[in-house]
Amino acid sequence: MDFDSVDSIREAGFEGFQTLPESWAAKLKQVPEAPGVYVVFRESLEPPSFLRKRRAGPYKGQDPTASVEELKRHWAPGARVLYIGKAGAPGIQRGLHSRLREYARGGFAERSSRRLSCRSLDGNTRIVFL
């Protein structure tokens, strides 16, 4: 599969195409609870702007925030696809909506049940699902 453009991702059958802030503001209403695959990608090939601190606060009593310098050091120039994940499976009730809500909470909520999150990504980042 070619991830070089929004069009190629759409042609592969993915839906959504909202930015992370748009998805969070809409309470991820466009995301079904069904099992599926999701992709977190950036339209821009420019390096992102990184938040200094995640909004979700501490996780298990510790601050998992990586420094901006560390994030810049690990950034892969020209990266478009940041993450490919799956949600739900036979016998597992949590689907796309639940998984993406957990993912986004780290970037937009006061608390998160996950250590890693989208807190470091800017408004050029989009979530799509299949």
pLDDT in tens, 40-99: 888 888 888 777 776 666 667 776 677 888 888 888 888 888 888 888 887 777 888 888
Please give the pLDDT value at position 114: 52
Task: Categorize the per-residue pLDDT at 109 as very low, low, confident or very high, splitting at 50, 70 and 90.
Answer: low
Q: How far apart are CA 50 and CA 35, in angstroms?
A: 30
Please give the pLDDT value at position 40: 84
Token pair 């696809």 is found at 81
Q: How far apart are CA 42 and CA 89, in angstroms?
A: 27
Please give the pLDDT value at position 111: 54
Which amino acid is located at 59 in the chain? Y
Q: How far apart are CA 51 and CA 107, in angstroms?
A: 9
